[in-house]
Structure 1
Amino acid sequence: MSPLLLCGRNVEGLSTFEVAENDMQTDTAKVEIQPNHVEDEKPWKEFMRAFIRHRSALIGSIIILLLILIAILAPVLTSYEYSARSDDLNQAPSAEHWFGTDEMGRDVFTRVIYGARISLWVGFFAVTGSIVFGSFLGLIAGFYGGWRDTIISRFFDILLAFPGILLAIAIVTILGPGLNNALIAIAIINIPTFGRLMRSSVLRVKEEDFILAARAIGMKNSRILFHHILPNCWTPIMVQGTLSFATAVIEAAALGFLGLGAQPPEPEWGTMLSDSRPFIQTAPWTMIFPGLAIMLTVLGFNLLGDGLRDIFDPRMKQ
């Protein structure tokens, strides 16, 4: 190449080297901007594609959404009051009473769909309380260690030493029967599950290089804990929360069946099963439909939880 060409200038007064340098900077800027834009959208797109492809997660979410809609639209779906009585005692399912009536002449369909409100409400607040308190204790135990870890871990061990339903019965017996006390008992017995899960996740994440770098630059422990460690430990907690929701529904129904949960005339599914025991042969529909409601609710949350576990587990990705 001739020296004149190397040192030549174009009509804009720029040398050939300057033009080439500007072109390289422009191309580099294009290359740098494009991947950042794609990377921001990729995780959400990947999750949605995996969620739609996962049959169990999709079916579970559909069941849960239907239950939520039924609970919200309960006054629209029926013209009866859940506590209204009639002279049609233990009437079989008919066009007037889709699920029949119970021993007091109350419409079973109305009580089942209103019972969805109670079960979802108990499950949501019980699991939320367990996640909040259990995750906080697990964060403290895993991050700081030492005597804090010892005390919190022994507290978890004490709670786990008792069967869950027996511990819930003992707590409700002390507090007194009632739906709110049953909610508190269910939240307490599930605290160790989330606490130990969070603790193990924190012990793993806090040894990562980005946490060590944050410590090296003098970042405060509180910022490291809530801005770096907690977001990276949230996935297993979310998966466990969906599975624990199903467990909370069963525990609430068990306490209601024993007369320690929701009190009459509240249309709680476990209480409905307990009231229908004497009529299992003469009016089996009074037990079948509340039992099916419990089964579908638990099935929906279990399918969703299993699906989320498979989606978030990197070993399941090809």
Structure 2
Amino acid sequence: MLPELKEKLPEIKQEPQVESPFQESWRAMRKNKIALVGMTIIIFFVTIALLADVIAPHGINDQAFENRLESPSAKHWFGTDDFGRDILSRVIYGARISLWVGFFSVLGSIIVGTTLGILAGYFGRWVDTIISRLFDILLAFPSILLAIAIVAVLGPSLQNALIAIAVINIPTFGRLVRSKVLSLKEEEFILAAKSQGMGHSRIIVHHIFPNSIAPIIVQGTLSIGTAIIEAAALGFLGLGAAPPDPEWGMMLADAKTYMQQAPWTMIFPGLAIMLTVLGFNLMGDGLRDALDPRMKS
């Protein structure tokens, strides 16, 4: 009996292992070289933001007027500003502020926008009408002007700039989720759940929301880059972080007077903004390709 079993064993083939959606998406991301470049840029800036206290060569507010507007050198790699402060150290600490504002403003937009979008798309009728008109009102204003108006009402500060950026991005996520829910609620598995007597809250939590996560993740990644630019714009106008915080937009505002005399005071904060936003855009495009079923072969 045993020899017969041994002869049959080699003929038994193992079933191919089924990948989870996360594993499948990660495998697609690894094949996308551009997305990996974006992820590397993001990891770099997140790392320097977390380790700013360790890697910054000088204090962000250490002033040395004898070194005022000094060009890049071995002592000050990025040069110094008009107060003799080390620009490299301020750019490193500025990453902490910009990423903090970008992440939490988008997180707030996702929470509020997703909630309103699900309610509008799922329940429809007067609920959809009220929420959609609210989105239309917010979208009727240019985003940066609306952010300026909100900060002007609340008062200039980094926290109020974060709130303003979160508010202006709510319609983006709300309309995205609403359109997704409108198509989902007509699917057979949703109709089957309703026919079995499942309540609205359970359908939303267990079926609607999980199937809406992919576009939210993609849009959220892209929106962080946009939020960083908006935070820098508010900082440039003096409506964001207060001096002497090393916020990138405010550093550009302080440097505009010395653009010809000391261009490095503007170049390095500008490059930091550009590279960070580029990283989130590249990674967002990669996530879209990995998570969108239409993009998969």
Q: What band does the TM-score fall into relative to the shorter chain?
A: over 0.9
Other-structure match for 1:76: 54
Question: Is 1:190–2:204 an aligned residue pair?
Answer: no
Other-structure match for 1:305: 284
1:312 shift after superposition: 1.7
Instruction: Could you tell me which runs of 5 or more consecutive residues in structure 1 were left unpaired when the two chains were aligned.
Output: 1-10, 12-29
2:25 is matched by which residue type in structure 1?
F
Other-structure match for 2:272: 293
Instruction: Could you tell me which runs of 5 or more consecutive residues in structure 2 were left unpaired when the two chains were aligned.
Output: 2-11
1:49 shift after superposition: 1.7
Question: Is 1:176–2:155 an aligned residue pair?
Answer: yes
SS of the residue corresponding to residue 17 of structure 2 reads: helix
The structure 1 segments of at least 4 consecutive aligned residues displaced by more than 6 Å after TM superposition are none
Aligned residues: 288
Question: Is 1:273–2:252 an aligned residue pair?
Answer: yes
Other-structure match for 1:135: 114
Other-structure match for 1:152: 131
Query: Does the Cα contact within 8 Å between 2:41 and 2:279 map onto a contact in 1?
Result: yes
1:38 shift after superposition: 2.7
1:292 is matched by which residue type in structure 2?
L
Question: Is 1:199–2:178 an aligned residue pair?
Answer: yes
1:43 shift after superposition: 3.0
From 37, 40, 45, the equivalent of 1:59 is 37
Other-structure match for 1:15: none
1:46 shift after superposition: 2.2
Q: Compute the TM-score of the two structures, normalised by the length of structure 1.
A: 0.88
Question: Is 1:250–2:229 an aligned residue pair?
Answer: yes
2:169 is matched by which residue type in structure 1?
N
Other-structure match for 1:211: 190
Tell me the alpha carbon deviations over residues 43-65 of structure 1, each in whole angstroms, 9 at most, x when there is no partner: 33322221111012111111000
Query: Does the Cα contact within 8 Å between 2:120 and 2:128 map onto a contact in 1?
Result: yes
- How many angstroms apart in 1 are the aligned matches of 2:59 and 2:127? 52
Tell me the alpha carbon deviations over residues 8-64 of structure 1, each in whole angstroms, 9 at most, x when there is no partner: xxx9xxxxxxxxxxxxxxxxxx99xx76x833x343332222111101211111100
1:290 is matched by which residue type in structure 2?
P
Q: Compute the TM-score of the two structures, normalised by the length of structure 2.
A: 0.94
1:99 shift after superposition: 0.4
Aligned-CA RMSD value: 1.8
- How many angstroms apart in 2 are the aligned matches of 1:211 and 1:72? 43
From 23, 27, 51, the equivalent of 1:49 is 27
Residues 42, 134 of structure 1: alpha-carbon distance in 2 compared, 3 angstrom cutoff = closer
Other-structure match for 2:80: 101
Other-structure match for 2:210: 231
Query: Does the Cα contact within 8 Å between 2:214 and 2:292 map onto a contact in 1?
Result: no
Query: Does the Cα contact within 8 Å between 2:120 and 2:131 map onto a contact in 1?
Result: yes
1:308 is matched by which residue type in structure 2?
L
SS of the residue corresponding to residue 233 of structure 1 reads: helix
Query: Does the Cα contact within 8 Å between 2:221 and 2:284 map onto a contact in 1?
Result: yes
- How many angstroms apart in 2 are the aligned matches of 1:91 and 1:233? 52
2:110 is matched by which residue type in structure 1?
I
Query: Does the Cα contact within 8 Å between 2:42 and 2:276 map onto a contact in 1?
Result: yes
Other-structure match for 1:115: 94
1:317 shift after superposition: 1.9
From 143, 167, 183, the equivalent of 2:146 is 167
SS of the residue corresponding to residue 276 of structure 1 reads: helix
SS of the residue corresponding to residue 209 of structure 2 reads: helix
CA radius of gyration, larger in: 1
From 224, 237, 241, the equivalent of 2:220 is 241
From 273, 293, 296, the equivalent of 1:314 is 293
